[in-house]
A and B are shown apart, each in its own frame.
Chain A
Amino acid sequence: MSETTEKPAGNGFEPRIIAFVCNWCTYLGADLAGTNRLEYPSNVRIIRLPCTGRIDFNLVVKALEVGADAVIVSGCHPGDCHYTAGNYHARRRWMLFREVLETLGVDLHRIHFAWISAAEGKKWAQFVADVTAQTRELGPYNEYRQIIEAEVS
């Protein structure tokens, strides 16, 4: 069994992770991981957007609202954006957005940002494995769940 999918014996909590990735780099990187038969945890749900510049911070909030235990945001390296500058705008936005999340008490250990290119299939697989392991340790994101009301029990 490859290193990237080892699961410790535990209480069976499986984190739900949502990943917002850009179409031209990270999504293709994830695809490359697939074609290379690299295994990585299936806890992640990938949502493809044209560019990280398109990622509204509200999407991160909504991911938490629907019960994500962790959120990944990933795109092209600076200088490689398919639309030239989308990731620069995104980077600025994220630098600011983390400040207000910190004041609100959102656990920043659950929000992960990365630059992963179309050639970095291995990096993607490792990154997802790391995030999954970290989130498993942290446990379910209960504090945010208290805010969610749309669930019907």
Chain B
Amino acid sequence: MQQQELRQLARKLLEEGTVKVVIGYGQPVAGAPAFPVFITDPAKVDTLVWNEQCFHNLTGYLKRKEIRALGKPAIVVKGCDERTLVMLEKESQIVRSDIYVIGMACSGVGEPQAAKCACCEVHMPRLADSVIGQVDNPPVDASARYAVLDEFLSAYPTPAARMAYWQEELGRCVKCYACRQICPLCYCERCIFDKNRPTCVDTSPTLKGNFGYHITRAFHLAARCIECEECTRACPVGIDLRLLNQSLSRGAEEHFGFRAGVDPEAELVVGSYSLKDREDFIQ
């Protein structure tokens, strides 16, 4: 039983002083969504759970100073969350040896199952210090990866139709910044949206301010987003944000053969270039 093993491992790590805090999932009410917990006391490891309600990507907490202040962490990750750790290390935000990674074999989260799980290739974590559980990695139809985006593009085939869709969707945005705060790769200490001398993007939740914000945030994640879809889950007004991120991820894959966080050796796309980059739209 994965949950049992996880609790045992957490107790051991805390008791032996290998880590000071275990970042995992807790679930005080059975059946309700699990949520992030931070266990520092080995006596409290029974708070940890592992089930289909564990959809959060916990790696975002590694950047928060209140968590760093607790000391060396162990973190519970699914195969998809692990991709964040690869990116964070390549971007020099974490030192891998400063984290104890507990990888959970996962056959999918969410009820109904999250769309991203249907084309998951990393049911088994690849880079963890300890792996708990065993699950097969069934072959995946790579074209299914962008199914949600393709559905959107065919449902709204013209620029005018798409623009109308986004005006309606982004019109609802209230600038709560939940998408930014939950994104593990949004870690800038001075975020461009917090700047006001001068202001780069209108902070107002007008169409202009919302378009400016979402275009900028999507583009700042170009070829960095690991498609955990937490931003879409976090949005309180139901905007399908992953459509923007998926279009950039597909661009990165088609133009540069790159998928964020998959190959730890691959060179990052943005910030580098190749003489072999080819385009047909520049005159």
Contacts and interface: CB of A to CB of B under 8 A. Distances in A.
Q: Is this pair of chains taken from one and the same complex?
A: yes
Most chain A beta carbons < 10 A, residue from B149, B201, B215: B215
Nearest to A91: B277
A65 B281 contact: no
Secondary structure dominating the interface of A: helix
A94 B269 CA distance: 12
B250 A99 contact: yes
B218 interface: yes
Given A96-B248, A100-B248, A147-B207, A105 B166 contact: yes
B250 A150 contact: no
B243 A146 contact: no
Most chain A beta carbons < 10 A, residue from B153, B277, B282: B282
B215 A104 contact: yes
A108 to B, nearest CB: 8
Interface string A127-153: 100000000000000011011111000
B147 interface: no
B253 to A, nearest CB: 11
Given A88-B275, A98-B281, A103-B243, A93 B270 contact: yes
B255 A96 contact: yes
B159 interface: yes
Interface residues of A, number: 37
B273 A104 contact: no
A142 B93 CA distance: 43
A80 interface: no
Given A93-B270, A146-B167, A99 B248 contact: yes
B156 A105 contact: yes
A95 B281 CA distance: 9
B216 interface: yes
A92 B269 contact: yes
B36 interface: no
Nearest to B251: A99
A88 B277 contact: yes
Interface string B214-226: 0110110011000
Given A61-B212, A105-B163, 20 more contacts: A91-B279, A92-B269, A95-B251, A95-B255, A95-B277, A96-B219, A97-B222, A99-B248, A100-B222, A100-B248, A103-B243, A103-B244, A105-B162, A105-B166, A113-B282, A143-B160, A146-B167, A147-B207, A147-B208, A149-B207
Interface of A: 57-58, 61, 65, 78, 85, 88-89, 91-100, 102-108, 112-115, 127, 143-144, 146-150
17 contacts: A58-B200, A58-B215, A61-B216, A65-B208, A89-B271, A91-B279, A92-B273, A95-B277, A97-B219, A103-B243, A103-B247, A104-B163, A105-B156, A105-B158, A106-B163, A113-B281, A147-B207
